Amino acid sequence: MGAIERKYHSLIRKMIALHLAHAPDHETRDRKPLLREVEFDATWELRFGPNNRFRVFYRVDLDRGKVEILAVGVKEGSRLSIGGQEIEI
């Protein structure tokens, strides 16, 4: 798996704005807290796109009212790729 195709970039930006602008730390069907630590220090995961293939990993700083996007990846089957590299979560 390589980098995310350009045709999906606007979808990714749109979904980040839609899902993380309000209450990014509340669990929903598409937004879940991570149960294990990951190497890039994310605490939440947002899932969306065709077959829920895209993943946005982020951290919420409630004190500063800030959401920090840490990684965007593509999940196919049981494999997750971020920046063209397969990652274990």
Which CATH number belongs to the domain containing residue 23 in this structure? Answer: 3.30.2310
Sequence-distant (6+) residues with CB within 8 A of 44 are: 24, 25, 31, 32, 33, 34, 57, 58, 59, 60
> Looking at the domain assignment, is residue 41 inside a domain?
yes
Please state whether beta strands 66-76 and 44-48 pair in parallel, antiparallel, or not at all (unpaired).
unpaired
Tally Cβ neighbours within 10 Å of residue 73. Answer: 22
Would you say the pTM of this structure is higher than 0.75?
Answer: yes
Helix (H) or strand (E) holding 67: strand 66-76
Domain range for 49 is 6-87
How many domains does one find in the chain? 1
> Looking at the domain assignment, is residue 1 inside a domain?
no
Residue pLDDT, tens place only, 4-57: 899 999 999 999 999 999 999 999 999 999 998 888 899 999 999 999 999 999
N-term to C-term CA, the chain: 16
> Looking at the domain assignment, is residue 20 inside a domain?
yes
